[in-house]
Amino acid sequence: MLGVLALAVLLVLATDRLYGHSTLAFAAAIVMLLIANAPMLRFNCPRCGKNAFFRGPFVVPWPNRLCTRCGEDLAASPPSQNR
């Protein structure tokens, strides 16, 4: 995710430098970030369904080992089917 973020910023900067300001570059960066974020949204706790990447209102690039809502050990449990 961090690599895609860096790539999106570089895309916008390069487009701005070479061709001038372009809303298409911003749109392409947003689409890239949405596609990269999709797998993160499916990594949920198997017991309660809370996403492992959310820490309160913030999203971090590494998942929790323990669910902050129910205390389930996410490292030992099988992948969630909650989508």
Split at pLDDT 50, 70, 90, the class of 76 is confident
**Exposed / middle / buried, residue 67 (Cβ in 10 Å: 0-12, 13-18, 19+):** buried
Highest mean pLDDT among 1-5, 28-32, 34-38, 54-58: 28-32
Residue spans of the domains in the chain: they are: 2-42, 44-78
pTM given for the model: 0.62
Using the structure block, give the residue that is written with the tokens 């050990």. Answer: 73
Average pLDDT, the chain: 86
Q: Which of 9, 40, 42 is nearest to 26 (CA)?
A: 9
Task: Give Cα 33 distance to the centre of its chain.
Answer: 8
